[in-house]
Amino acid sequence: MTFGFGEQGKIIESMTEAQLIADVTPALQKMFGSAAKAPRRAFATSWNSDPYAGGAYSFQAVNCTSQDHVTLATPASQSLLFAGEHTHELYRATVHGAFLSGEREADRVISQSGSVPAGSTLSINAALNLIGNGVEAPISVGAVFDDASKVLSVWKWVVSGSTQGVSYPAWAFYSPALADGGKAYAAANGFYVLTTINPGEGAWVNAKVAFSTVLPGGTAVQSTSFKPAVGTPASGGGVRALPQGWSLIGAGDSPTPATFSAAVAATGSASPVSGKVATSVISMWAWDPLKATWYFGSPSLVNSGGLDTYIASNKYSDFASMPSGRLSSTGGFWVNMPQSK
Ligand SMILES: Cc1cc2nc3c(=O)[nH]c(=O)nc-3n(C[C@H](O)[C@H](O)[C@H](O)COP(=O)(O)OP(=O)(O)OC[C@H]3O[C@@H](n4cnc5c(N)ncnc54)[C@H](O)[C@@H]3O)c2cc1C
């Protein structure tokens, strides 16, 4: 079997069988020696001229970007969703891209239906893990991470609060290795005492060994709930309106940097000009504990066409290269929000 791409594909479609045999035989003899005989028969697909094929798989013309594939994945409505290799920003034109795009849209259907199946499994590696609570049910740190033979410490970033002796933003700390769970250590170091990872919050879990644990199920935390309030007095924000600067969070609707940025865009700016993504977040970061690398996304770099170069030069990874192509409901991420306008 041989491939003819682009213009060559069109030429091959127009050839007779005799011409195809005459065309391919010298190549076979170059590869296998002069003893290679001319094939008895030759067949070519006609996907270019076949109106029911209209081409074989997606092809990036000059000036196309990955963002065009994100645009093709944008749902038309809650009930009209798009999967297919052409909708995968990284693995387009492949079977695995098609497969992952199907999983992505299935996730979208589940999250739109408003619930994450009870018993989502949180997989922890023997490393620092960035986790998130994407379900509308609190995670009790003392109950889930109480095994000192597995867990060294758990850390949560708290942006604001009113606890005396804590200067915000501050780290909240828990350790099963300390008899009091780390209360005295936290007080001595100006940390907040960590007891709960609330819905929509993220945390670092430093683990000695790999293990998994089943988290409570419930309604999925929606990315739109992080929409910042705008104006003076501030209004229009979601129930978890993000402040400017850095927040460590988790969402249950499996966002990508592009979908999260669109979800938290202030009303009226959710639809940027055609071919561009909403720039309501500066950057989004998730940690891969096995590869020890950051997944990085920045809508403004997508729009300027500089994302791939930036990721490569900093040795980051693209969010689309996550095993599932996007965050899970147990995946935490950092988001950096611009100054409110
Ligand atoms: C020659 C060739 C070699 C390839 N080699 C590889 C490879 O080595 N590795 C790899 O990973 N990928 C390879 N690919 C790419 C891979 O096959 C495709 O990316 C993948 O199959 C796309 O899957 P999909 O589900 O997105 O689309 P498709 O598999 O094309 O499915 C689309 C379906 O929709 C149907 N359809 C179209 N229009 C309508 C309509 N109006 N109403 C109802 N149904 C409709 C079609 O009949 C088809 O069944 C190759 C492709 C080709 C053509």
Atom in ligand 1 nearest the alpha carbon of residue 3 = 1
Does residue 165 carry a pLDDT above 80?
Answer: no
**Which segment of 24-33, 114-123, 174-183 scores lowest on mean pLDDT?**
114-123
Q: Whose CA is nearest to atom 53 of ligand 1?
A: 56
Mean pLDDT of 195-211: 96
Alpha-carbon radius of gyration of the chain: 25
Q: Is 94 in the pocket of ligand 1 (CB under 6 A)?
A: yes
CA of 102 from ligand 1 middle (Å) equals 13
In 10 A of CB 73, how many CB atoms? 21
Q: Which of 128-132, 184-188, 191-195, 266-270 has the lowest mean pLDDT?
A: 266-270
Kindly give the distance from the C-alpha atom of residue 56 to the centroid of ligand 1, in angstroms, as a whole number: 7
Separation CA 113–CA 111 (nearest Å): 5
Q: Please tell me the predicted confidence (pLDDT) of residue 226.
A: 96
Amino acid at 151: V
pLDDT at 138: 93
* pLDDT (tens digit per residue) in 297-321: 999 999 899 999 999 999 999 998 8
> Is the shortest distance between the CB of 216 and ligand 1 below 6 Å?
no
Is residue 295 scored above 90 in pLDDT?
Answer: yes
Q: Which of 46, 57, 87 to mutate to test the pocket of ligand 1 (most atoms within 8 A of CB)?
A: 57
Give counts: helices (H), strands (E), the chain. Answer: 9, 16
Cβ atoms of 124 and 208 closer than 8 Å: no
Pick the residue whose CA is nearest to atom 40 on ligand 1: 52
Residue 230 scores a pLDDT above 90: no
**Any ligand 1 atom below 6 A from CB of 57:** yes
- pTM over 0.85? The answer is no
100 lines ligand 1 (CB under 6 A): no
Rounded CA separation 46/4 (Å):
11
pLDDT, tens digit, 9 for 90 and up, residues 137-150: 999 999 999 999 99
Chain centroid to CA 147: 30
Question: Can you name the residues that pair with 197 across neighbouring β-strands?
Answer: 139
Q: What is the pLDDT of residue 78?
A: 72
Nearest ligand 1 atom to alpha carbon 93: 19
Q: Is 93 in the pocket of ligand 1 (CB under 6 A)?
A: yes
Share of the chain above pLDDT 90, in %: 53
